[in-house]
Structure 1
Amino acid sequence: MNISTKMEKAHLVFVPAPGMGHIVSAVEVAKLLLTRCHQLSITVLILNHSSINSKVHSYIESQRASSSIVPTRLRFINLPKDETELFSFSSFVKSQKSHVKEAVLKITQSDFVSSVDSPQLVGFVVDTFCSSMIDVANEFGVPCYIFFTSGAAFLGFMLYVQKIHDEEKFDPTEFKDSDAELKVPSLVNPFPGRVMPSAMLSKEWFPFMLDNTRRFREAKGIIVNTFLELESYAIEYLKMPPVYPMGPILDVGLDGRNSHKEIMQWLDDQPPLSVVFLCFGSKGSFRENQVKEIACALEHSGYRFLWSIRRPAPPSFLASSSDYEDPQEVLPKGFLDRIIGIGKVIGWAPQVAVLAHPAVGGFISHCGWNSILESIWFGVPIATWPMNAEQQFNAFEMVIELELAAEIKIDYRNNSEIIVNCDEIERGIRCLMEHDNEKRKKVKEMGEKSRRALMEGGSSYSCLGTLIKEVMDKLSQNNCNEV
C-alpha cells in the first residue's frame, strides 16, 4: 500500500554526556546526519549540573547562533539544573532520566512534531556513558543507538572485559603493574596488564563501566568515532550489535586566530614543522616536580615548543583544570627568561587551531581519543603521555598496535607517585621531532585516508548512509503500523 506521496519526516533525540569533548562530537554526528538527510530533524538534550564547565554552555550558545540549520532542524534543550550533591557520574546520569523523559514528552506533544507535516520520533542516540537512557527510549517504543566516543578497539576491549568479568570473575586490579598479558579479540597484539586503563582500576568507575557495557548489547546499533582504514582489525571483530564507524567525527572548523591572536602570531614566526606542542586535555595537569622535569627536557632538547600548563582540577567528576595566574610558581627559576624566542608557555590552548598550523611538527598528548583523531587529521605525529580514563589503552594502540606514535609513556597515571625524568622525556621529544621520521609519514598518510573516508564513496560516508536508511526504514514501519 502506498501510504503517502509526500516525503515522510523523522526526528531523533540525542543525549550526550555533559563533557565538552562528548558534546562537541555528538553535535558533529547530528550535523552529519542532517546534512545527508533533509527529512531528518534532531533535538540535543543537554544534561545539566551546577559543576559543568561554563565552556559547555558557551559552546551550545555558539551553535545556536552560528549554524544555518539550527532554527529549523537542529535544536538544543537545556534540561533543569541538578543542584544536588552527587558523588558519582552514575548517580548523576540516573537522576537525569526523569528530565529526559519529560523533555521528550514535551517534544512529541508540541507543534514541532504533532502536525501533519511534522517529523515522527524514530529513535534516541545516547552517549557511551548514558546507556541507561535506553530505558527511556523503550518507554517511547523507539530504538536506541549508542554513540561510542572512543575507538573500535577499546569498544571491543570493554565488551571483552565485561564478558570475562561476568563469566570468570575477572578483576582488572589484579593485572595492575604486572607482566601478565590479555589476548583481546579486538587487538592483534597481546595487551599488557600494566597498561590497564585507569577507569578500570577505579572502584567508582569500573562497576559503572560494566553496567554501561552490558546495556550496549540492547542497543539497535553503536556509532563509533573511528574509520575503517584506521581500525580495520577491530571493526571486523565487532559484529553484534551492528557497529557504524562514521569518523573521524571532529569539529575542525574552529579558528583560534581571532580568539588567541598572541598564540597564533607566535606560531606564525616559527619555521615549518619546528614546534613541539604539549597539551594534556581538559583534566591534564602535573605536580610541580613533574612540571620541572618537563621544563628541563624541553630546554635541553633545543626544540621550539608551545606548552599548555594547567592547574589541577578540583575533585568533582565534571570539573576541568584551570589556568595558573602565574605559571612561574611551578616552573624552574628563570625558565621563562631562558626560553624567550624558543618556547612559549600558555594556559588553555586552542588545540585544533594549533595542530592545523604548519609550524607544529609534533604533539605530546594525553591520548584522549578526540585528540588522537585531530592529530591524525592534521598529520601531526604524537608522543604518548596518558593520564586517566581509557588513555593508557589508546596510547598502547597508537604505539604498539598501529605504530603511529612515539612513546614517552604508555602506562603513566596522573595519580601515580612516579616521576618521569628529564632524560626520558627528552628522548621522546627527539624521537617525535626528528626529520627523517617514519611515523610522521605514516600519520600523514592516515590523515589523508581519514579525509577520504568522509568523502562521497568513502568508508564512513557509506556507513552513514546505511545508518540513515535504517532510521528512515523505522519511519516507514511506524507508518505501516498506523494504517
Structure 2
Amino acid sequence: MAMAKPTVVLLPVWASGHFMPALEAAKRLVAALGADLFSLTVLVMRPPTPDSASERVPPPVARESSSHGATGVEVAFVHLPHVDPPTDCATVEEFTSRYIRLHAPRVRAAVSPRAAALVVEFTSTDIFDVARELGLPAYVYFASSAAMLALMLRLPALHHEMPTEFGEMDGGHYVRVPGLPPVPASFMPASVMSKKSPSYGDTLYHGGRLVDAAGIIVNTAVELEPAGGAAIAEGQCTPGRPAPPLYPIGPVISSAGAQSDGNHECIRWLDAQPQASVVLLCFGSLGFLGAAQVREAATALERSEHRFLWVLRTSPAAGADHLDGILPEGFLDRTAAAGGLVWPLWAPQREILAHAAVGGFVTHCGWNSVLEAVWSGVPMAPWPLYAEQHLNAFELVAAMGVAVRMEVDRKRSNFVEARELEHAVRCLMEEEEEEGRRARRRAAEAMAACRKAVDAGGSSDASLHSVAARMRNDTKW
C-alpha cells in the first residue's frame, strides 16, 4: 500500500477575497515542492454568518479545485466542525480574531500526522501555538502589501513611541513606516486609528506575533515594493529582533470563478468601445456608496464626458431595479447615449481590467484589486473605504506612482466631492494631464515587472522555490 504524501496544511479565512488567493498561493507552493511528492490540505472554517457564507468560495469552485487541476496538485478540503461565533465583538477585526481563535482545538484535531507545515493568515497567529504543540513550522500567508506587513511588524514599537492616537493627529503629523515615504497619520489603516478600539489591540497583538513565524509568504513582488521588502529583511521593522524570512511570491491572482469567457454583458459592452477609452469604477464585494455620494459621483462622471463602466452597489440588498431612485434624473439615459454603463450586480473585475477598452480604474484599493490592475497595466485613482486601503492608496501614489491623487474626506465617511472625482477621471483618461501620463507609464512598467517576476527564473518564482526548499528540508517524512 502506497504511503500518503506529506501535506502542507492551509487555514484560510472564509471570505472569498482571502480564501481564493490563499488557495492559489498554496497550490503554487505545493507545485514548487513537487506535486508528485507533496499534497495540499485545506482546513475550511464554516462562515460565521449567513451573509459571510455567500462570500466564501463557491461550491462549484471548491469542487473544481479539489481535483488535481492544471498544476497537478492534489488538494483535500477538510471542513472543520461548527464553532459558535462570539456575540459581543465591537469590530470586524475583533470578531475575526476571536472566531479563528475558537477553532484552535478543531485545527489541532484535524491536522494530519503527515503534515509538513502549517500556513495561516495574519489574523490567525494564535494557531502558531497549535503548530508548536504538533512540532510543525508555521508560515504566514500575508494577502496584503509589504507596506502593510512592515507597519504591522513595526506597530509594537510604534505603540510606545507615538505620543497620541493616529486618529487624533492633525495633517502635519507623519508616521515612519519603513520602506515608505513619511505617511500622513490620516492614511493609517482603519484598525489602528484609535487605541481604544478592540481592532487596534488585535492588530497590535498579531503584529507582535508575526515575528514568531517560520517565514512570511507575501502577495507582492520585489520589483513592486523594493523598499518595503528590504526594510523588513534588514530588521528596520523589528528593532532588537530579527524579522522572519520574507518570501514575496506575487502577484497571486486567483482566476477561479472570476472569468465569464467573454459572455458577460459588461464584456460585450466593452467590446464595442474604443481602446483605452473607458474608466472603470468598482469598490469590491464590501464597498457600498450612500445615496448622497452616488449623486456626487454621477455628477462627476457626466461632467468628465468620458466613457465609464460603473459597478454600482449601494447596499448588500440592492438589486438591479433601484438605480433610478438614487441617480440624478435622466442620468442613465444621457450617459448611455454618451458611452456610460451603470452595472448594479457582480461583474468580472479581473476580466474587465484586462480588456483593451479600459484605460483607468477608480478603486477602493483592496490589495487584490490593486494587483489585478497592476497585472493589466491600468492606472488607478484611489478611493479607499476601510481596512488597510488608505495605506494602500498612499503607497500607490507616493511610492509606486501608478495612481493619480484624489482627495478623500475620511472624516465624512470617505466622501469624494464631484470636482475631485472629475479631475481624477480626466487625469487618468486625458493625454495632456502630466500626472496621468506618469501614472500610465509607471503602471505599464509595473505590469512588465510583475509578469517577469512570476515567470520561470523571475524574482517571485525564485522566492517561491526558496520557501519550498526550506519546507522540504524541514520535512520529517
For normalisation by structure 2, the TM-score amounts to 0.88
2:275 corresponds to:
272
* 2:166 maps to 1:173: yes
Please say if residues 311 and 342 of structure 2, whose CA atoms lie closer than 8 Å, have aligned partners that are also in contact: yes
Alignment of 1:415-434 (within 5 A): 416-417=412-413, 419-434=415-430
Tell me: CA distance 1:60–1:170, structure 2 relative to 1, closer, same or farther (3 Å): farther
Where does the alignment leave 5 or more consecutive residues of structure 2 unmatched?
A: 90-94, 234-242
Tell me: CA distance 1:155–1:412, structure 2 relative to 1, closer, same or farther (3 Å): farther
* 2:192 maps to 1:200: yes
Please say if residues 381 and 440 of structure 1, whose CA atoms lie closer than 8 Å, have aligned partners that are also in contact: yes
Residue 205 of structure 1 and its aligned partner are, at CA, apart by: 1.3
Please say if residues 128 and 146 of structure 1, whose CA atoms lie closer than 8 Å, have aligned partners that are also in contact: yes
CA distance in 2, matches of 1:219, 1:143: 8
CA distance in 1, matches of 2:354, 2:129: 41
Tell me: CA distance 1:397–1:307, structure 2 relative to 1, closer, same or farther (3 Å): same
CA distance in 1, matches of 2:31, 2:208: 32
CA distance in 2, matches of 1:198, 1:133: 24
Please say if residues 66 and 74 of structure 2, whose CA atoms lie closer than 8 Å, have aligned partners that are also in contact: no
CA distance in 2, matches of 1:379, 1:42: 32
Please say if residues 280 and 310 of structure 2, whose CA atoms lie closer than 8 Å, have aligned partners that are also in contact: yes
Identity of aligned residues (%): 36
Matched residue count: 448
In structure 2, give the amino acid aligned to 1:389: A
Counterpart pick for 1:135 among 111, 123, 129: 129
Please say if residues 164 and 170 of structure 1, whose CA atoms lie closer than 8 Å, have aligned partners that are also in contact: no
Please say if residues 275 and 360 of structure 1, whose CA atoms lie closer than 8 Å, have aligned partners that are also in contact: yes
Residue 160 of structure 1 and its aligned partner are, at CA, apart by: 1.5
CA distance in 2, matches of 1:40, 1:100: 20
In structure 2, give the amino acid aligned to 1:201: M
Moved more, 338-347 or 53-62: 53-62
Alignment of 1:306-321 (within 5 A): 306-313=309-316
CA distance in 2, matches of 1:453, 1:134: 30
Residue 241 of structure 1 and its aligned partner are, at CA, apart by: 0.7
CA distance in 1, matches of 2:164, 2:117: 35
- Name the SS of the counterpart of 1:53 in structure 2: helix
* 2:80 maps to 1:79: yes
CA distance in 2, matches of 1:421, 1:164: 33
Residue 60 of structure 1 and its aligned partner are, at CA, apart by: 4.8
Please say if residues 148 and 222 of structure 1, whose CA atoms lie closer than 8 Å, have aligned partners that are also in contact: yes
Moved more, 76-85 or 286-295: 76-85
Where does the alignment leave 5 or more consecutive residues of structure 1 unmatched?
A: 1-5, 109-119, 314-320
Residue 256 of structure 1 and its aligned partner are, at CA, apart by: 3.6
For normalisation by structure 1, the TM-score amounts to 0.87
In structure 1, give the amino acid aligned to 2:187: V
Counterpart pick for 1:367 among 362, 365, 376: 365
Please say if residues 126 and 146 of structure 1, whose CA atoms lie closer than 8 Å, have aligned partners that are also in contact: yes
Residue 333 of structure 1 and its aligned partner are, at CA, apart by: 1.5
Counterpart pick for 1:155 among 146, 149, 160: 149
Please say if residues 392 and 412 of structure 1, whose CA atoms lie closer than 8 Å, have aligned partners that are also in contact: no
Residue 412 of structure 1 and its aligned partner are, at CA, apart by: 4.3
Counterpart pick for 1:238 among 232, 255, 261: 232
Residue 184 of structure 1 and its aligned partner are, at CA, apart by: 2.2
In structure 1, give the amino acid aligned to 2:309: L
Residue 177 of structure 1 and its aligned partner are, at CA, apart by: 4.1
Tell me: CA distance 1:18–1:255, structure 2 relative to 1, closer, same or farther (3 Å): closer
Moved more, 391-400 or 91-100: 91-100
Residue 175 of structure 1 and its aligned partner are, at CA, apart by: 4.5
Alignment of 1:114-125 (within 5 A): 120-125=114-119
Residue 380 of structure 1 and its aligned partner are, at CA, apart by: 0.7
Residue 259 of structure 1 and its aligned partner are, at CA, apart by: 8.2
Residue 55 of structure 1 and its aligned partner are, at CA, apart by: 4.1
Moved more, 342-351 or 387-396: 342-351
In structure 2, give the amino acid aligned to 1:93: I
Moved more, 61-70 or 203-212: 61-70
1:27 corresponds to:
23
Q: Deviations over 1:72-104 (max 9, x none)?
A: 721122223345453322221111212222222
Residue 235 of structure 1 and its aligned partner are, at CA, apart by: 0.7
2:395 corresponds to:
397
Please say if residues 227 and 459 of structure 1, whose CA atoms lie closer than 8 Å, have aligned partners that are also in contact: yes
Tell me: CA distance 1:403–1:63, structure 2 relative to 1, closer, same or farther (3 Å): same
In structure 2, give the amino acid aligned to 1:69: H
Please say if residues 40 and 73 of structure 2, whose CA atoms lie closer than 8 Å, have aligned partners that are also in contact: no
CA distance in 2, matches of 1:196, 1:349: 29
